[in-house]
Amino acid sequence: MWFNLVTAGLALLMATACATHVQTTSGADYLARYDGSYTPAAGAVASEVDVQVRQIAAVEPDIRFPARIGLARIERGHLAAIPEREGEAWAALAQQLDGLYGEFVPVSPLIAAMVAPENDKPRYSYTAADTIAEIRRGAARQHLDYVLAYEVSTSNRSKGSALSFADLTVIGMFVLPGRNVEAEAAASGILIDVRNGYPYATLTAFADKKGLSRTINSWQVRQEMMKDASAKAVLELAGELRSALEQLAVKAHSIKPVSAENAAAGS
């Protein structure tokens, strides 16, 4: 029953975009402009930041479909299993797309743990970069092409702000300027290339109060409402992902495939 409702809801949510940004810019083009605008004085040595900028920018988009697209849920700053209701939202998206862009595969926390470096730092001290690295390693072992890393949080009423979502610790939120948001939950994600870390899209979606209101008279009821709100936010995020994939599929035709030599040169 829930799956049927999710499938029907997903069709409605496609037209209600929250916030999506797609990127397919070229690192080579960016650095060409960098070289043309940066002329250090005679004998000057490039600063550490200059070197870092060049290394960071030297990455090319390589978006191709069909693909194996990973789904990585972050909870409390770490890769976690996808809850059942959220999994049904992603399954509904896969059913609607019917292999148009490939297949969706959950990134396994167990597999990610199996391929963690032996000298990896304790998980309690992970930074956002460590968590994304953990996801990319697990996705690589599962031979995934791209991965959507996402977080979900319910609103923090104690702070008195509609945008106080305390659990979005890694991805954060991308909100359009001037947008007035009242929500019970938020989901935010980033679609990245597993091989080179290229960020193809940032997504944010919100679950409003409509359809979630009922008398909260017990801890159990509150927990169920939080699950409903989180699942609804992921349902909207699935709609945002579909929109991003549609845009990327169009752009993919104008992107030159990255050769092994170019990939090695940029790494």
Q: Do 165 and 142 meet the contact criterion of CB atoms below 8 Å apart?
A: no
Q: Residue 40 has what pLDDT? A: 61
Question: pLDDT band at 3, cuts 50/70/90?
Answer: very low
SS3 11: helix
Report the distance separating Cα 5 and Cα 183, nearest Å.
20
Contacts made by residues 25-28, CB under 8 angstroms, sequence distance 24+: 25/61, 26/60, 26/61, 27/57, 27/58, 27/59, 27/60, 27/266, 28/58, 28/60
Which tens digit of pLDDT belongs to each residue from 145-156?
999 999 998 875
This prediction's pTM: 0.82
